Amino acid sequence: MSRPSPFEDGGRLSVSPRVRVLLTLARRYRIAQLRHAKGRCFSSSLALALEARRRGIEVELLRWRVKDTDDYSDHWAVRLDEHRALDLSSVQFDPLGRPLQMLDAYPSSFIDRRQYPASLFLDEYRRVAQHRRSRLPLAFLTLVSHRMWRHDVVLEFRRGAWISASLNTVRYLGRLAVLRLEGLRRRMDRRARQLRGEPNPQNETVL
C-alpha cells in the first residue's frame, strides 16, 4: 500500500485557484522533521502568508494555546477554510507531518483557538524577514502580542464579553512579562559571550 500524501483529504479537497496556490506554498514551507519544527510554527505561517500576499491572496492565521507541555505554549497555522488549516509544523503532533489538518481533529491539549488576519503582522514581518535571522526580534514579538490583544479585546467588547476581555488582558500582561524576561536573558547571554570573546550568533531558536 502506498504511503498517503501529506496533502490527502479523502478526496474532499477543493481545488479552487486560491486553494491550489496555498497548497503549493504549503509544500514549500512545510517543516518535515520534528527537530526543526520546535518554535517555528509562527514564523513559517507568516512566511507562507507573506508569499500568498505577493500572489494577491490574503489569509488568516489560527492560534491555539497549548496546555500540558513544556515544549511550547501556543501553536500557529494558516486558515484554509472553516474546517481546515494548513499547519506547517504539524509534525509536532502528527507523525506524518501532514500540512492539511481538519480543525476538529487537533489534539485536546490545543485550546482557545483564535483567528487573526495575517495583515495585522505582515508589514512588520516583511521588514524582519529581510534580515534573514532565525530568531524573531523581541520588539516584533511585543508588537504581535499587542495587536493580538487589541484585536481580541475589541471583538470581546462588541459581544459584551467583559470577563473574557479581562482574562485576555491578564494573559497579555503575562506575555509582556515573559518577553521582558527573555530580553534580559538575551542581554545577559550577549554580555557573557563578549566577556568570553565569542561572537554573538544570529541563527538561534525562533520564538
- C-alpha grid cell for residue 111? 485550546
- The predicted-structure confidence for 110-123, as pLDDT tens digits, reads as follows 999 999 999 999 99
Evaluate if residue 11 carries a pLDDT over 70: no
Question: Which tens digits make up the pLDDT trace of 133-147?
Answer: 667 889 999 999 999
**Lowest-confidence region among 20-24, 115-119, 122-126, 129-133:** 129-133
- Greater confidence, 202 or 183? 183
* Residue 191, pLDDT score: 85
Q: How far are the Cα atoms of 128, 181, 186 from residue 138, in angstroms, in the given order? A: 11, 11, 10
Neighbouring CB atoms inside 10 A of 181's CB total 10
Helix, strand, coil % (nearest 5) of the chain?
50, 15, 35
Per-residue confidence (pLDDT) for residue 183, from 0 to 100: 86
How far is it, in rounded angstroms, from Cα 13 to Cα 179? Answer: 39
Task: Name the CA radius of gyration of the chain, rounded.
Answer: 18
CA dist 76 and 73 (Å) reads: 11
Q: What is the mean pLDDT of residues 125-136?
A: 79
Q: What cell was used for 39?
A: 518554535
Q: Does pTM top 0.75 for this prediction?
A: yes
Which percentage of the chain shows pLDDT scores above 70? 88
Cα 44 to its chain centre, rounded Å, is: 7
Closest CA to 100 of 163, 13, 171: 13
What integer is the mean pLDDT of 85-96?
95
**Average pLDDT score over residue span 184-201:** 82
Give Cβ neighbours of residue 174 (< 8 Å, ≥ 6 apart).
none
Question: Nearest-CA neighbor of 137 among 152, 127, 122, 151?
Answer: 127
* Residue 10 binned pLDDT confidence (cut-offs 50, 70, 90): very low
